Amino acid sequence: MSKIVSAAQAAARIADGAVVTVSSSSALGCPDLVLKAIGARFDAEGHPRELTSIHPIAAGDMYGVKGVDHIAKDGLLCRILGGSYPSGPSSKPMPEIWKMIVENRVAAYNVPSGILFDMARETAANRPGVLTKVGINTFVDPIREGCAMNDMGAAAPIVRRVEFDGDTWLHFPNIVPDVAILRATTADEHGNLTYEHEGAYLGGLEQAICVRNHGGLVIAQVSRVTKRGSLRPHDVRVPGHLVDLVVIDPDQKQTCETPYDPAISGQIMRPWDSFSLAERGVEKIIARRAAMELRPGMTANLGFGISAMVPRILLEEGHPEAVTWAVEQGAVGGIPLTGFAFGCSSNADAFVPSPQQFIYFQGGGFDVSFLSFLEVDVEGNVNVSKLGKKPYLTAGCGGFVDITSGAKKIVFSGWFEAGARIELTSEGIKVEAPGKFAKMVEAVEHVTFSGQRARELGQEVLYVTERCVMRLAETGLVATEIMPGIDPERDIVQASGGRVSIAPDAITLPISLLADGPMGWGK
């Protein structure tokens, strides 16, 4: 019996009340055609109803791949657990899933991506849920929000604090999925899946095993089908005995606004001079100072935002391979891409499945993590996961909490004030006009990173801005390095409302951070 079906036929197999786990990362690996068919069936028939969807990383984007928005309908979706959610600029309409969340029409949770992958593994093996220290004293912890994004979520907790072996842990009980929806490049007639055009493997194998072990339905979307026996066994990432149905979509995009780029899937290697460099400006100065924390031979994790510019700094300095980069989608080495293609890398050394990458991250095996911030408070807490006024400007926590929970060293990057007018002069940085609002606040809106927990663990934490570098001390935020041209009292202490103090031995950073050409990294 053939496993090849239409998207509509696959959607017809999903029962009311099913728990559906989806493998995706924004548009990267998104099984958009199948999700669209589920939404279309509901519009026509009123079924399936009352689904729970699980997304370790966001499904869909705001630039043409709707993903989860296809199923963001009252009556169809009743609960959603996402490591991240579609996000974008305020100039674009709010995604439908965000409307449901903020209007309290769906029970919604933001669960760290690594924990969601852990849940698939633990549920597959019939172990009693995830026991973890990831997220302690952050919004993940039941002493705060317990991952809940709205009142409906808070009314049905998914995590609890437990004492085990004399220590405090977070316990996430199993949520057994009935359906897995994956995406690959090629399927053979038996359902064996290869990923040769994909920019990451993500967690499809673990999600398929979890569903198969509980007698569920595994649907795979691919761009093409080949004869059984024509795929090399070493290339098969999900074996056919785990796959029930195969849906063909010859037009699936490789990632956000990218039909296909062979450098993303590692089929070609781009010359280093084909990559664009970071443009001169305030954010490049911040990224340059962050790059000063690197040494040749390090392995570094990288997050979205200003931090994503750091590899381009090393590229401009003539050292594109001095550091091994690792991103949560699974690429290791090469140059992580920016903008729409973040999560992909060109010239990667390897692609690691996301669940294994998160084991590496949670265990703190890397040397340093470069992440961005929305706001920082007097305790050193960082928020990247919630903006009450414009919720869809942030994707949620993603892998941020997994990464920071075990990192030995963390470098956060961001503007000191939002919307400040800054001039770059020959003498340094001049603040011409203050920002619209402070990013150094009394208390962050959402604790995505706990300063208290970092002090307990002895983590080294830096906050790099266009005005100074701050360090997390027992007394709070202390500026230990001042950008050239900055008046410490006016531009830092007063601008922060006294929330940032100046170290007695604070130094002034070199003017080379503002240079038109290379700054001399590694010399």
Active site residues: 328
Q: Which token pair is 208?
A: 């398929």
Residue pair 328/398 in contact by the 8 Å Cβ criterion:
yes
285-312 b/e (C-beta count within 10 Å ≥ 16 → b): bbbbbbbbbbeeeeebbbbbbbbbbbbb
Q: Would the CA dihedral through 357, 359, 364, 365 be positive or negative? A: negative
Q: Which token pair is 215?
A: 């007698």
Pairing, β 19-22 against β 51-55: parallel
- Which residues partner with 375 through β-bridges? 383
Angle formed at CA 456 by CA 453 and CA 457, multiple of 5 degrees: 90
- Which residues partner with 79 through β-bridges? 52, 107
Strand order in the sheet with 375-377: 382-383, 375-377, 440-441
Please give the sequence-ordered ranges of beta strands (E in DSSP) within 354-473, or none if there are none: 368-372, 375-377, 382-383, 409-413, 417-418, 421-424, 429-433, 437-438, 440-441, 460-464, 468-473
Half-sphere exposure of 308 (CA within 13 A, CB side): 16
Residue pair 470/480 in contact by the 8 Å Cβ criterion:
yes
- Which alpha helices (DSSP H) does 233-320 contain, by range? 282-291, 310-316
Please provide the size of the chain in residues: 523
Q: Which token pair is 416?
A: 């000191």
Q: How far is CA 339 from CA 45, 300, 354, in A?
A: 39, 19, 20
Pairing, β 236-238 against β 19-22: unpaired
How many angstroms separate the CA atoms of 371 and 307, rounded?
5
> Which 3 state secondary structure label does DSSP give 43?
helix
Residue pair 98/395 in contact by the 8 Å Cβ criterion:
no
Identify which of 18, 13, 11, 20 has the alpha carbon closest to the alpha carbon of residue 43. 11
Residue type, 508: T
> Which 3 state secondary structure label does DSSP give 141?
coil
Q: How far is CA 290 from CA 287, 429, 442, 485, in A?
A: 5, 17, 25, 18
- Which residues partner with 59 through β-bridges? 26
How many angstroms separate the CA atoms of 289 and 291, rounded?
5
- Which residues partner with 429 through β-bridges? 424
